[in-house]
């Protein structure tokens, strides 16, 4: 009870509107009901108390980019006030003065419509406030005025660049997870969500595969490694496959954020979102990791087991034939390898014909000789490829002339 009194004192000190107070109380109670076993009410209240001083009805005309609410203040905006702006009019919460005066003259249907409109507006304001309160609760302050952490961001790397706040770290999940939590507190289903729809739906899909409370706890601690570990542990037992799957999931989240930020008609937007969500579902099901990554080199590919068959034979430079020496020289020049007949020549000399060796090398070891013969037979199709007609002197001269001409053309182009 003492804790409830402290919460009430804090609300009375900072907030005067009865509807706002009711929303804050419901937010705390719902959050504790769902996640109180991993985030106690005391811890939630401390975050709200430390991070929020004021809630302001800013008016619908002040909203930027169609936003309904915004959590502003913090360390980035050079202000001592941590404030939520609701881009609604305070008058939206009740009947206008003219409606009150005319109330007795309205028909029953008119009265029902007015009351319904007010209820709908309250619901929209409450939903926006829940979203912004979640931002407040899941923001970790460092030393005031120095730095703070958001979901999976890096402390101390928040700064203003022009009009936009930049957050260091992985910020593809911030709005999605925030909206998922606030939607869960409201008891909404994925199809009932109106903001950040596709991204939030992806987290709902994820929560069917990964323990929901591990997602919430990692978000509360701003610990992406904990989030990643829970993901991999739930999706697959293979760490390397899990790493790739996680990268694919994050790439999908990134693409959903990009689509949201683009100015396109709703039909095209929904089409692209559904395509990405379908791919994300396949990734989560372990059926397909096919979302294109920007950095494939970060993925570790499975190691292919080695057999006992040697893949190469040591050879001395002075034992190569004349044609093989030419082929080896050409292979080291990428520009020349773009010429079809050069590529064909190199392949015939290095990929099909075996390297020349002297008699001493043949007798070095009977074991090595047997291994070499096996490899030669494999590469030469049991001698069939050796029957290919060798290059004549005039063909070698033709190749040399064509290479010289190609080099001259390339130099002229540059």
Phi, psi of 82 (to 5 degrees): -95, 115
Q: How far apart are CA 109 and CA 114, in angstroms?
A: 9
Model confidence, pTM? 0.65
Strand partners for 86: 57, 69
**Six-digit token string for 15:** 């907030």
74: burial class by Cβ within 10 Å (0-12, 13-18, 19+)? buried
DSSP string, 363-390: TS-HHHHHHHHHHHHHHTTTTGGGGSPP
Distant-in-sequence, close-in-space partners of 293: CB < 8 Å, separation ≥ 6:
247, 248, 251, 299
pLDDT at position 380 is 57
- Can you tell me the distance from the alpha carbon of 175 to that of 414, in angstroms, rounded to the nearest whole number? 50
pLDDT in tens, 10-69: 888 888 899 999 999 999 999 999 999 999 999 999 999 988 888 989 887 766 666 777
Q: Across the strands, what pairs with 140?
A: 149
* Nearest to 155, CA basis, from 215, 213, 250, 224: 224
Residue 353 contacts residue 386 (beta carbons within 8 Å):
yes
pLDDT tens digits, 209-264: 999 999 999 999 989 999 999 999 998 888 888 899 999 999 999 999 888 888 77
CA 226 – CA 220 distance, rounded (Å): 11
Average model confidence (pLDDT) for the chain? 76
pLDDT one digit per residue (tens) for the chain, 414 residues? 445 778 888 888 888 899 999 999 999 999 999 999 999 999 999 999 988 888 989 887 766 666 777 775 444 445 567 888 898 989 889 988 999 999 999 999 999 999 999 999 999 999 999 999 999 999 887 654 456 677 887 654 444 433 334 444 566 788 899 999 999 999 999 888 888 899 999 999 999 999 999 999 999 998 999 999 999 999 888 888 889 999 999 999 999 988 888 877 888 888 999 999 999 999 999 875 555 543 333 333 334 344 444 444 444 445 667 677 777 777 777 666 767 667 777 777 765 444 444 555 445 545 555 666 666 565 555 655 455 555 455 555 665 666 666 656 655 554
């Amino acid at each position: 009870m003492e804790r409830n009194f402290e919460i009430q004192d804090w609300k009375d000190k900072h907030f005067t509107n009865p509807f706002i107070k009711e929303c804050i109380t419901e937010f705390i109670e719902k959050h504790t009901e769902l996640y109180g076993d991993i985030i106690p009410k005391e811890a939630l209240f401390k975050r709200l108390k430390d991070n929020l001083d004021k809630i302001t009805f800013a008016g619908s005309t002040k909203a930027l980019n169609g936003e309904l609410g915004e959590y502003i203040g913090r360390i980035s905006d050079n202000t001592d006030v941590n404030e939520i702006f609701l881009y609604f009019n305070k008058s939206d919460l009740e009947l206008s003065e003219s409606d009150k005066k005319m109330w007795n003259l309205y028909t029953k249907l008119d009265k029902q419509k007015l009351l319904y409109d007010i209820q709908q507006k309250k619901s929209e304001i409450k939903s926006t406030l829940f979203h912004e309160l979640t931002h407040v609760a899941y923001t970790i302050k460092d030393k005031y005025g120095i730095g703070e952490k958001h979901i999976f961001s890096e402390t101390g790397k928040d700064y203003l660049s022009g009009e936009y706040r930049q957050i260091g770290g992985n910020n593809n999940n911030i709005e999605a997870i925030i909206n998922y939590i606030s939607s869960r507190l409201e008891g909404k289903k994925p199809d009932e969500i109106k903001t950040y729809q596709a991204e939030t739906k992806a987290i709902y899909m994820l929560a069917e595969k990964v323990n929901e409370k591990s997602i919430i706890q990692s978000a509360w601690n701003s610990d992406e490694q904990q989030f990643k570990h829970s993901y991999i542990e739930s999706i697959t037992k293979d760490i390397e496959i899990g790493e790739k799957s996680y990268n694919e999931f994050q790439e999908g989240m990134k693409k959903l954020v990009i689509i949201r930020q683009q100015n396109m008609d709703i039909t095209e937007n929904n089409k692209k979102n559904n395509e990405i969500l379908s791919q994300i579902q396949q990734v989560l099901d372990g059926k397909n990791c096919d979302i294109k990554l920007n950095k494939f080199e970060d993925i570790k590919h499975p190691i292919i087991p080695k057999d006992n068959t040697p893949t190469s034979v040591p050879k001395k430079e002075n034992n190569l034939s004349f044609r093989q020496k030419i082929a080896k020289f050409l292979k080291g020049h990428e520009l020349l390898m773009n010429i079809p007949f050069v590529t064909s020549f190199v392949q015939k000399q290095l990929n099909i014909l075996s390297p020349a060796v002297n008699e001493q090398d043949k007798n070095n070891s009977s074991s090595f000789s047997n291994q070499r013969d096996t490899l030669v037979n494999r590469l030469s199709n049991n001698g069939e490829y050796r029957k290919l007609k060798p290059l004549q002197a005039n063909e070698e001269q033709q190749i040399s002339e064509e290479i010289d001409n190609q080099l001259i053309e390339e130099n002229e182009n540059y």
